[in-house]
Structure 1
Amino acid sequence: MAGLARGLASRPACAVCCLLASGALVLLLPSSRLTVLAAPGVAGVTGLLVGTLLLATGVVLAIAPGQHTMCGMAGIVLALISFVTPSLGGLVVGMLLGLTGGAFALAWEPAEAGGRRNGQGRTGSSR
C-alpha cells in the first residue's frame, strides 16, 4: 500500500480521474443507437472523437505527469468543444468534469526532490 500511496502522490490523480470520467460520459451517449440514428454522419462522429480525445488526455496525464500543462489545456478545450456535440457534453456533466479535470491538471505541481511542496516547510531560516 505504501508504494501505491507514493505513486499517487507523484501524479495528478484527481485530474486523471475527472478527465477519464469526462471522456467516458461524452462517449456514452453518442455510442447509443438512438444518437447514431438521430445524428448520422459527421455530427455523430464528433462526439466519439471528442470523447476518445478526452480519454487519451487522461491516459497521457497518468503516464506522463510532466505534461500536466498541455493535458490541462487540452482537457479544457475538449470539454468546451464537447458541449456542441450531439450529447451536449455528456449531458453537461461530462463537460463539467472535463473542465474540472483540466483545471486540476493546470493547478497541479510536482513534489520537490526533498519531499516538500512549494510554500510548505521552513522559509527564511538562517540555518
Structure 2
Amino acid sequence: MLLSRSRWRRWRRSRPFWGGLFAVLAGSWICVLPLAPLKIMLQQGVAGIPSVLMGLVMIVLGLTAWFAPPQRALAGVLTTLIATAALVLSNLGGFLIGTLLGILGGGLMFAWQPYAASAPPAGPPAGQPASAPPVTVPPSAPPTDPPTPHSDPQGAQP
C-alpha cells in the first residue's frame, strides 16, 4: 500500500497533473452538455457538433499533458485557446464552467516546470582528502567584443 502511494505521488509530481485534470474536466463538461436527450438535441441541430468536438480535443490535450509532459506548453496554449473559443461556440463554454476550467488547466499546463535536480552536497570533491586545501582555478579573461555604436541589441544598423 505504501509503495503504491509513493509511486502514485512520484508519477503525479513528474508531470502537469492538475492542469491535465482541469483540462479533462473542462472537456468533459463542454462535451456532455450538448449530449442531452434526443428531443432537445433535435431542437439544437448541428450546433452541438462543435461542442462535442472541442470537448474531445480538450480531453485529449489533458491526457497529452499527463502522458507526454514535454508537449505541455503546446497542450496548455491549445487548451486555453479552445476553452476561449468554446465561450462563443458552445453554450457559453459550458455555462462558463467549462471555459473557466479550461483556461485554468491550460495555464497550469503551460506554467508547470519539472523539478530541478537537487544540488550536490558541499563537501570536498571525490578523490581529494578532507584536510587538503581546496584547489583554486585562476579566473579566465572575459571575451572582448567590440562595442556597438548604437543601442540595438540585435545589431541592426540605424
TM-score by length of 2: 0.68
> Is the CA contact 2:54–2:86 (under 8 Å) kept in the aligned structure 1?
yes
Unmatched tracts of structure 2, length 5 or more: 125-158
- The CA RMSD measured in Å over matched residues stands at 1.9
Higher relative contact order (CA 8 A, sep 6+): 1
CA distance in 2, matches of 1:10, 1:107: 14
> Is 2:39 the partner of 1:39?
no
Aligned residue in 1 for 2:13: 9
Q: How has the CA–CA distance of structure 1 residues 86 and 69 changed in structure 2, closer, same or farther, with 3 Å as cutoff?
A: closer
CA distance in 2, matches of 1:76, 1:15: 11
Residue by residue over 1:4-32, the C-alpha shift from the partner in whole angstroms, topping out at 9 and shown as x without a partner, is 11111101111011001000100111111
> Is the CA contact 2:30–2:90 (under 8 Å) kept in the aligned structure 1?
no
Q: How has the CA–CA distance of structure 1 residues 99 and 35 changed in structure 2, closer, same or farther, with 3 Å as cutoff?
A: farther
Per-residue deviation, 1:86: 3.7
Q: Report runs of 4+ in structure 1 exceeding 4 Å deviation.
A: none
Aligned to 1:40, what secondary structure does the other structure show?
helix
> Is 2:81 the partner of 1:77?
yes
> Is the CA contact 2:23–2:105 (under 8 Å) kept in the aligned structure 1?
yes
Aligned residue in 2 for 1:91: 95
More helix by proportion, 1 or 2? 1
Aligned residue in 2 for 1:48: 52
Paired letter, 1:106: F
CA distance in 2, matches of 1:90, 1:97: 10
CA distance in 1, matches of 2:51, 2:68: 25
Paired letter, 2:41: V
Paired letter, 1:40: G
Unmatched tracts of structure 1, length 5 or more: none
Per-residue deviation, 1:106: 0.9
